[in-house]
Amino acid sequence: MDEFTPRIVAFCCSNCAAAAATIADGLQHVLPENVKIIQVPCTGRIEVLHLLKPFEEGADGVYVAGCQEDSCRYTSGISKAARRVAHVQKILEEIAIEPERIAVFNVSAGMGHAFTEIAREMTRKVREIGPIQA
């Protein structure tokens, strides 16, 4: 049987995560193909609806990669994003979907390796949970 490849959407802050992605690229730490990146100027702008849309469109997992809590480019963007991710987890739970399908990660611009590792980690986790539609 073919192994299930989860479709994952990653919202990445252009100040840290996207910079880390560029470094990762340079280091030839290749991002898994099943992870689609959406770059945003600040993760604080990501709303609940943005986080739900990928699930509606067929994604199996979603994550936000933004700054470290104490060094956010716009002070509190990533903590706002974390609260919205938590809210989406609550919504998912209410409709009997595993809340672990959405997560938030903190990275910094220099963490090229960590950036690809997060993508792989999320892929592993969602693969374990399985597709949304049984």
**Nearer CB in complex with other proteins: 31/129:** 129
**Nearer CB in complex with other proteins: 1/96:** 96
Positions in the binding site for other proteins (CB under 8 A): 47-49, 52-53, 55-56, 58, 91-92, 94-97, 132-134
- The CA–CA distances, whole Å, from 88 to 31, 59, 95, 124 equal 25, 14, 11, 21
Q: How far is 79 from 69, CA to CA, in rounded Å?
A: 6
Q: Min. distance of Cβ 38 from other proteins in angstroms? A: 16
**Nearer CB in complex with other proteins: 23/97:** 97
Number of Cβ within a 10 Å radius of residue 107? 24
